Amino acid sequence: MKFGVVVFPGSNCDQDCFYALNNVLEVPVNYIWHRNQNLEDYDCIVLPGGFSYGDYLRPGAIARFSPVIESVVNYVEKGGLVLGICNGFQILLEAGLLPGAMIKNESLKFVCRDIYLRVESTESPFTEDCEEGEILSMPVAHKDGNYFIDEENLIKLKERDQIVLRYVSSDGTENETGNPNGAIDNIAAITNRQRNVLGMMPHPERSVEKLLGSGSEDGLKLLLSAVSFIKERG
């Protein structure tokens, strides 16, 4: 089994993703430089958070033209697993690998805090070890996490069970306080139709050790889910 964490100029959370996979989950993981186009041996590609290309133009708009993304598109077509976290999610959207787009947080401010998520679908390799309706806690840290998709395509997302995680309050209800950025329908994470690509704004890699922050290890659940999916797939 091998995970790959892509590094773009400006990625910040690549080292955190690496650490979570290597030191906490203890799975083999490599860095993949953005100019590298060989993704053959990888079981899962992670596009980490950060500010690729400074978020200049639009978050992810320049990174999506990196050589590695071309390979990611092929990799996805062949059924490879891809996890896009925060900036990674933004890159997947700009590259058209996931539907919709990100705009600025409703507050117009960067928001870094712990939030609650409700598992809406366990049909994804990243949530198959979770229970539907389960509440998870992990941090967000972004200025452009306000997910947008038009009416017609939002209906399709719902019909096809592509919404994987929603923002909720601590008691599991959807409301304004639970949503940190104004995302439509409180959407925090979505998957593509094939279900091999997941994009999420919250940071699971920051939620793998009791020692840090709020002490939640819920991020581990998502990563371990993927690990067991890969093992089962053989």
Least distance between other proteins and beta carbon 14 (Å): 9
> Active site includes 34?
no
Using CA atoms, how far apart are residues 144 and 104, in angstroms rounded to an integer? 4
Q: Is 61 in the site for other proteins (CB under 8 A)?
A: yes
Number of residues that bind other proteins (CB under 8 A): 50
The angle at the Cα of 41, spanning 37 to 43, to the nearest 5 degrees, equals 105
Catalytic residue (choose from 17, 120, 142, 205): 205
Q: Among 188, 203, 210, which residue's Cα sits nearest to residue 141?
A: 203
- Choose which of 113, 156, 193, 231 interacts with other proteins (CB under 8 A): 113
Q: Say whether 205 is catalytic.
A: yes
Question: Is the separation of the CB atoms in 206 and 216 below 8 Å?
Answer: no
Helix (H) or strand (E) holding 215: none
The single residue among 25, 73, 111, 224 that binds other proteins, judged by CB under 8 A, is 111
Element (H, E) at 111: strand 111-119
Position among 57, 67, 174, 228 found at the interface with other proteins (CB under 8 A): 57
In 3D space, the residue among 204, 231, 184 whose CA is nearest the CA of residue 86 turns out to be 204
Nearer to other proteins among residue 57 and residue 155 (C-beta): 57
Considering beta carbons, is residue 9 or 230 the nearer one to other proteins?
9
Which amino acid is located at 129 in the chain? D
Residue positions counted in the chain:
234
Binding site for other proteins (CB under 8 A): 9-10, 12-13, 15-16, 19-20, 49-51, 53-58, 61-62, 65, 93-94, 100-101, 103-113, 139, 141, 143, 148-150, 182, 203, 205-206, 209, 211-214
